[in-house]
Chain A
């Protein structure tokens, strides 16, 4: 069974540009969540999608947006890039969504991430 696939693996952009990152979850998984990881702030939650609907959103500006398609693949978009957006962006998939993480042994499966550098 293929794991979570994120593309591209590396991206270099300049300030003011926009970028789109892609995440393909494990086959059969319907939930995709996105995280930003930086040395200073650690791992921070961006948003979660389930069946094409955004279920939850973290404390990030509106420049960060996402969507999920009917095949559960998800994209996140960052517009008007800033230097501080340089980070490793990780996506995670789960079968039924993070609400089921509360009471089951369902786990999150992470992709290898997209390393974004903003110059």
Chain B
């Protein structure tokens, strides 16, 4: 059974700091990994998607890396801003039953960026 863990569970940093969020998964047989952002009481917004054949993806101040063999992914946020405050979730995609895929979400990291 795939288990996805995110460390730390919560993080508070001052504005401008660079930070790294971690995601670990137990079964390396994944198709890809996706990072999401969730604001309080809201849905998820997709940030980055990394295919299993890729090592990293970048979007603006965000960089996500994937080491499939070790079951790890990191999300790097450069020059953090108060607007980055949210919960960040990773999700791995594996083969599901029939024609569906199975998404397993991590436990999330709650980030607060202070002024």
Residues of A whose CB lies within 8 Å of any CB of B are 4, 6, 33, 42-45, 48, 50, 55-56, 88, 90, 92, 97-99, 101-103, 105, 107-113, 115
Contacts and interface: CB of A to CB of B under 8 A. Distances in A.
Contact of B43 (A4, A48, A103, A105): A4
B100 A55 contact: yes
Nearest to B104: A45
Contacts of B51: 103, 105
A4 B108 CA distance: 22
Interface residues of B, number: 28
A99 B42 contact: no
Given A101-B93, A102-B93, A103-B31, A55 B98 contact: yes
The binding surface of chain A is classed by DSSP as strand
B44 A90 contact: yes
A56 B29 CA distance: 19
B41 A101 contact: no
Between B43, B51, B106, the greatest number of chain A beta carbons within 10 A of the residue's beta carbon is seen for: B43
Given A105-B49, A107-B49, A99 B43 contact: no
A55 B99 contact: yes
Given A56-B96, A102-B31, 17 more contacts: A42-B106, A42-B107, A45-B102, A50-B99, A55-B98, A56-B98, A97-B100, A98-B93, A98-B100, A101-B101, A102-B101, A103-B51, A107-B46, A107-B49, A109-B46, A110-B36, A110-B43
Contacts of B103: 33, 45, 98, 101, 108
Given A113-B41, A115-B41, A99 B46 contact: no
B102 A101 contact: no
